[in-house]
Structure 1
Amino acid sequence: MNAVLIAVLVMIILSLLRLNVVLALFIGALAGGIVAGIPIADIITIFTEGIVGGAEIALSYALLGGFAALIAYSGITEVFVNFIIRALNKEQSKKARIIAKISIIGALLIAAVMSQNLIPVHIAFIPILIPPILSLMNELEIDRRLIAVVLTFGLTFPYVILPVGFGQIFQNTIVTSFETVGVDIAFGDVAPNLIIPASGFVIGLIIALFYYRKKRNYETIQISSQQERDTSKATIITAVLSILATFTVQIMTDSMIFGALAGIMIFFLSFRFKWKHLDAELINGIQMMAYIGIVMLAANGFASVITETGHVTSLVEGIAEVLIGQKTLIVASMLIVGLIVTMGIGSSFATIPIIASIFVPMGIELELSMPAIIAIIGTAGALGDAGSPASDSTLGPTAGLDADGQHDHIWDTCVPTFLFLNLPVLATGFIAGMIL
């Protein structure tokens, strides 16, 4: 039995059965480690040491949650949301509601794409932007599963096809991974050979837009504990300045932690609010996002155990030995292995170096063209980022959409994004591997 396969399957099955994701990650890591013959004491040590790698992102999530709560407390988004709701009630036309729905979906899609390149803040915008507009989405009866697909699309599609921002990091990782095994490729060769695989994201998004077009009812729940807000001009200016400060500092320091701290401090130093009220809202926001941070910590521990088993190599070599000479099955198997590994690790960026060291020599031995190998590596790395319970590309959308407790991480984010993004990309990646 392969330890990686067992670990990922156990984790996914337990998650689908609605066992807490943190427990599913730990049990999956334990199962994989035992199958690999690692003593239980060592598994616990490896898991614990791996947690350290996720400390920064966990703290980032917590502080962004607190900052998002302060934004909601300021009332800046509520003013905007109430304005639109009043306009819709006044208009009372089907056309107005459709335009509003399209505008929200389009705006969120643009924001998600921009977060990967133009303003590379990654998931930082989600807990700030999404919770305050949930009431508007409820009024329009928008299915949050569609929004989860839209956000995850915006967080994954750009780095596959656009060689800027996080895309530059992802594609440069592919180039570096090839160089590690003695194969030189140009950075400019990566994006063109990922056009076909990336088209799967677009196809899946279009299908999801039609599939989730029906209305879905949600209860409007007050997220902020403070019912009455001071929405004066000075308060709105304070909120706007805090948002600008957060994004500016994050881009300058490349740290979500210090970006969130900058925005939080502007609220406290503005003296527009009582500190005891801000403190209460900050704590509520941190609590809202703390669970997501804990999941990321557990995911890092899980990834460390998977890497330590060394069974990724044996999995690929075993497949190659059984299917030697059968190009169709080899290409499909390489992509499925990438899907499994990324689903477990939760990061496409971390998956590339692992699979490239095995897939590049194998591809050359099988006499695949270099464009085909690049397409397979890029697709195998990107697969699983959407749909993984441990990926920030799914945890981010859940953090925003579940602010009022009405959006399930597994069934409302991971399952829809897996079906509508991973499966089409798996198909287009296979096509690219066969025809390039």
Structure 2
Amino acid sequence: MMMIKRASYTNPTLNVAIDKIWKRLVPLMFVLYFFAFINRVNIGFAQDVMQANIGLSDGAYAFGASIFFVAYAIFGVPSNLLLNKFGARKWLGITSILWGGVAVATAFVQNNIEFIILRFLLGMTEAGFYPGILLLASIYFPNKVKGSVIATFILCVPLALSIGSPLSGALIQMHLLGLQGWSWMFIVEGGIGAILGAFALYYLDDSPSSARFLTQKEKDILNKKLQQEEQVTQTSSIFLAFKNLNIWCLAIIYGFIQVAVYGLMFFLPSQVASLIGSQTGFEASLIAAIPWICSGFGVYYIPRIADHYTNHRITIAALCMVLAGFGLFFSTISNPLIAIIALSCSAIGFLSVQPIFWILPSQILSGPALAAGIGFCTTIGGVGSFIAPNLRVQIDLLMHNNYAGLYTLSIIAFFCTFLILMLSYASKHNYKTIEA
């Protein structure tokens, strides 16, 4: 695979500092988010056996799957404000231990109520984790390389869906010490998260100024660059952040992106099975992994290209949504090959746009306002994730057409494109990149 180098600055000391931070922070955050995402979606593997073993009802399962996003939305902003107050080391470490512990506790549920409570707690404890990673990236990395950093985290999604799924499938067949395989799945995957969280408490540093792995000269150069970028933001006030129309627009854009993402994600296996005329089994799961594998390449390349062409980031983000919209539209074609290619285009567009998107809040806000702004965007994203599956199903039923929901998701993608371009037009002066 042809590699694209990260964007770099003309100052060699700054580049050395960024390389050190990348090697120090990115691998740990990547692995943590990988297991966080697996613990978010692995209940899909456990549904049937939990229903057989503990009598989990269809209603309780569906409500438990959805209530995760309710808690995620409620606690997104408070969690990020606490991270900004207490520091990355403590907050990311503690939240990882907590969501890992909740995931482990799910192995021992005995009834519907316990399952629903633990899913809510998982959403609550995980609410500050992904926004915290984004805030940590903004604290350490200048804008020119931030897209590549966040893209590395986003790669966890296709990996969790294509590689993590077989891992969960293998664990669920493990029966040891009187525990069923579904219990071991939660114990192993949640336990790894908790152990990594405990390690993060020791390993992370709160900011470049306190980073033990940087020299004083590297700290000074990096802090100077970060301070230059903060000076062109609109505000560091939390109150003014929520009065900023740009942040509301960004939050709405992210919410619509998540509606389309989860509207696709939750139904992809069954859609693929219908295309190839089989049940949702092993064969369908292999083919359903193709769009996520393709999206991994997109997430790697597209944000790096955007980092090299910083003046065209908004245009690239808009093109990603256009690709996603057309992909969703043409995925309704009955020809399996065309439909799979179209679904792959959708996955590439939806996931590749997100690293580029997450650069924008830090170009408008700084300090506590940035923490609140990121949390607010993820809160609206959580709302979008919650309504996504219900929206697609209800529109199919309302229109008496199995593809009406997909057409609606396609329209949402094109509407996102419009909002991105309007935001760029209205706030063009806010997105100028400061060069070294």
Q: TM-score, normalised by structure 1?
A: 0.30
Q: TM-score, normalised by structure 2?
A: 0.30
